Amino acid sequence: MDILTVRTVTKRFGGLTAVSDVNLDVRDREIHGIIGPNGAGKTTLFNVISGAYAPTSGTVTFNGRTINGKKPHEIAQLGLVRTFQRNAMFPTYSVLENVLLARHLQAKQGLFKAVFASDRKQRAKNLERALEILEFMELIDQKDTLASSMAHGHQRILGIANALAVEPKLIMLDEPVAGMNPTETALVTDHIRRLRDDWGITVVLVEHDMRTVMGTCDRITVLSLGEKLMEGLPGEVASDPRVIEAYLGSDEWDL
């Protein structure tokens, strides 16, 4: 079953077409990679899906509901949560406070109830769940560390933990291993796999780095210059000459 479908989505900025007529099908409980060299339109597509941009044309369906035109917070509430390339955490809070805050932000209640009710029960529940998430993401040992003073790789994982606090069905990760060394990369990709394997969360991974995508994803969609180049299994993608050319450039230059 497809949890996320993108149909003929086009996004123009003024005269520039950043994404042109793109289709995408993400199956439930898969890790789907969207790759392509710089300027391929990955980030634009990402922003269209998460609601930051409205598409110029085309539709986006998540879990059976049309979500194009909805606001980012509405999409998040429906269970499609994105992370950011950087700063996907509140830097001046501790790790535990980060996840607790992300959970607090979920509560839907009025001003007066928030101020007057003591809601110990809810607090206890939130704390329990936050600790569970940290345990799962292997951040529990650092729960009192200030987010801004954590190692780069762990900050990225905290960003994912914050997203988990929203109880998403699908997480979209924006270049989760950008600028990381191999050890950090392995740590993050390991966590990404566990999201799907242990908690059954669908993952959409937007990445520049092919290596990460190859080892982590079930299926891959390749974009180049705003258009979909191909879609397939990692092995198919890696050996496709069009993809190699998109990444390394053609070898046939007439200088």
Partner 1 sequence: MNWKEPLLAVVLLVAAGVAPFTASTYSVEVLILFLINLILVSSYRILTTTGDWSLSHVVMMGTGAYATALLSKWWDLPIFLTVPLAAVVAAVVGLIVVTPLLRTKGFGFFIASFALGELIRLSWIKFRDPFGGARGMIGIPSGEMWEIDFFEPIPYYFFVLVVAVASLLFMYRLDHSRIGKTFKAIYTDEGLAESLGIDVQRFRAMAFVTGAFFAGIAGSLLAHRLGAIDPKNFDVNTMVYLIIWIVVGGTSTFWGPLIGLTVMTIVFEWARPLLEWRPLLFGGILIFFLIFQPGGLEGVFAQVRDRLAARRRGKADRTSAGNQES
Partner 2 sequence: MLSLKDIWIHYGMVAAVKDVSIDVAEGEIVTLIGANGAGKTTTLRAISGLHAPTRGDIVFRGKSISGMTPEQINALGIAMVPEGRRVFPYMTVMENLEMGAYLRTDRTQTRKTLEEIFHHFPVLRERNRQLAGTLSGGQQQMLAIGRALMSEPDLLLLDEPSLGLAPIMIQEIAKIISQLHALGRTIVLVEQNARLALRLAQHGYVMETGQIVLHGVAEELRHNEQVQKTYLGA
Q: How far is the CB of 76 from partner 1 (least distance, A)?
A: 4
- Which of these ranges, 102-110, 133-141, 188-196, 197-205, lies near partner 1 under the rule CB under 8 A? 102-110
Q: Which amino acid is at 183?
A: T
Minimum distance of partner 1 from residue 98's CB (angstroms): 10
Taking the complex as a whole, the smallest distance from the CB of residue 74 to partner 1 amounts, in Å, to 8
Residue 109 DSSP symbol: -
Residue type present at position 18: A
Q: CB under 5 to 8 A by kind: which of partner 1, partner 2, none does 35 bind?
A: none
SS3 label, residue 186: helix
182 part of the interface to partner 2, by CB under 8 A:
yes
- Spatial distance between the Cα atoms of 13 and 34, rounded to a whole number of angstroms: 21
Could you give the string, one character per residue 130-169, with x where binding to partner 2 holds by CB under 8 A and - elsewhere? ------------------xx--x-----------------
Question: Which lies closer to partner 2 via its Cβ, residue 146 or residue 166?
Answer: 146
* Placement of tokens 């933990």 in the chain: 161
What residues numbered 145-204 form the site for partner 1, per CB under 8 A?
A: 162-163, 165-166
* CB 225 to partner 2: min, Å: 7
Q: How far apart are CA 41 and CA 195, in angstroms?
A: 26
Q: Dig out the tokens for 170 from the structure.
A: 């699908």
Residues ≥6 apart with Cβ < 8 Å to 141: none
What are the C-alpha distances in Å from 148 to residues 81, 138, 249? 22, 18, 38
Give Cα 166 distance to the centre of its chain. Answer: 13
Q: Binding residues for partner 2, how many (CB under 8 A)? A: 31
Q: Per CB under 8 A, does 114 bind partner 1?
A: yes
Count of CB atoms within 10 A of residue 46's CB? Answer: 21
Tokens of 73: 């917070």
CA dist., res. 231 & res. 220, Å (int): 6
CA nearest 150: which of 94, 200, 229?
Answer: 94
Show the site string, 232-251: x = touches partner 2 by CB under 8 A, - = not.
Answer: ------x-----x--xxxxx
Number of residues that bind partner 1 (CB under 8 A): 32
DSSP letter (8 states) at residue 202: E
Which tokens hold the place of 159?
């960003």
For partner 1, the binding residue among 43, 44, 68, 83 (CB under 8 A) is 83
Binding region for partner 2 (CB under 8 A): 16, 37-39, 148-149, 152, 175, 178-182, 208-212, 214-215, 225, 238, 244, 247-251, 253-255
Binding region for partner 1 (CB under 8 A): 50, 71-74, 76-77, 81-84, 87-92, 101-102, 104-107, 109, 111, 114-116, 162-163, 165-166
